[in-house]
Copies of this chain bind each other. A is one copy, B any other.
């Protein structure tokens, strides 16, 4: 367990690095694009100059890339179009390919792996720790994984098998095995001597993990305690035993919340029998939180996942289909509702102009309720005891907003059409549809709470479908009762 990676340290600013790489790529492209001028005397010399020029830019580019960390390279690769991306990738994949593949987004990883030989993939995987190999495994061909597995020492094989057995959203999948383990019955001086045998400590080592002879987890010794206390003190006297432990089967969300909440740097992972399995470092959790937050934003906008903006039209189009298909169904249902009132509209065509207002405003308002309710549920703020009160509150807000904005809409309608009954119908319809939006916005997450993390993408479409069709039905229904004689 004394495998060690270098802590990244950073000079300068990422967009600036990206700019420099772009400039060098353009210079190289321009040098390459000059046609060999065979008619002119001395053409051969000219050609040679061109080739040297191309080489110089490529060398400069290689130098530039050599000073970057894998996460920088990942960032830059994502920002480059396919041709340039593969050129840069060729220059880094041999020595930093593995770490870069770990850092890059799912959408772009495929485009890089597709162009690599089995041998190159084996080399890339060889640069990784077992927990990282496990993370990359779904994207690697089976035959490569078999070879990688065979090349590992027994301990590594066991770790890899363990890490791959956990689902992607579990603590087990975030866990790594790079930790420093000590015994409780030794003095701090002994611990210090032990640490001197390392070349470096693993990243995010803020504490040492204390276990007994059977690998049973006993507690943690923060480095700060090691540093401020007297060397003759025993570990047992200083170690924290009431520290948080994670289980490999826990949801990764759970760890994310705890790391955020307590600002942890690392946490031990322990199995049901109390055996120390590994640790979760903060950077892995941070990555997980970032990706999750991004997914929420993408799902709210009807995208299934983040797109490689340089990917093919076909691939991007498919990423957007689920949402469009759902919405088309909902829109058709709404169209059927309107269609059933075609006599009413024929008699009073102003209804056609005003009905989208009723649908739109309730859709927005219901969406607000939906998000508030989803957040409150996720934070455990909603209990069986206060659900009714919260529903009453959302209804009151909708009542208030219905009177205010429905009233304003009614006023406008009167100015346009000089028809009091019409103005009252639109005010009433907005009020009723806002109440419907609040009801649906609360009920969707309450009904879905048993599924854990509620599927944002479906909730939004469902809400829109109900407030649209409902709005048309309420408005045209009221109109056919009160306006058509």
A313 touches B393 (CB 8 A): yes
Which residue, of A18, A306, A368, has the highest number of chain B Cβ atoms within 10 A? A368
286-345 of chain A: CB within 8 A of chain B: 286-287, 289-290, 293-294, 296-298, 300-303, 306-307, 309, 313-314, 316-317, 320-321, 323-325, 327-328, 330-332, 334-336, 338-339, 342, 345
A354 at the interface (CB under 8 A from B): yes
A356 touches B371 (CB 8 A): no
A335 touches B353 (CB 8 A): yes
A62 at the interface (CB under 8 A from B): no
A10 at the interface (CB under 8 A from B): yes
Cβ–Cβ < 8 Å partners of A301 in chain B = 300, 367-368, 370-371
CB-nearest residue of chain B to A230: B196
Least CB distance, A252 to chain B, in whole angstroms: 15
Q: Count residues of chain A with CB under 8 A from any CB of chain B.
A: 134
Determine how many copies of this chain the complex contains: 2
Please tell me which one of the listed residues B240, B242, B321, B357 contacts residue A331 in the complex, with CB atoms under 8 A apart.
Answer: B357
Cβ–Cβ < 8 Å partners of A336 in chain B = 353
Cβ–Cβ < 8 Å partners of A71 in chain B = 261-262
Least CB distance, A223 to chain B, in whole angstroms: 5
Bitwise interface map of A from 105 to 124 toward B, beta carbon under 8 Å scored 1, else 0: 00000000000000000000
CB-nearest residue of chain B to A196: B228
A419 at the interface (CB under 8 A from B): no
Given contacts A201-B228, A224-B201, A335-B357, whether A328 and B242 have CB atoms under 8 Å apart is: no
A34 at the interface (CB under 8 A from B): no
CB-nearest residue of chain B to A191: B227
Cβ–Cβ < 8 Å partners of A339 in chain B = 350, 353, 416
A78 touches B381 (CB 8 A): yes
Cβ–Cβ < 8 Å partners of A302 in chain B = 364, 367-368
A225 at the interface (CB under 8 A from B): yes
A216 at the interface (CB under 8 A from B): no
9 tightest A-B contacts by CB? Answer: A263-B283, A293-B293, A201-B224, A352-B352, A338-B353, A79-B381, A331-B357, A10-B244, A301-B371
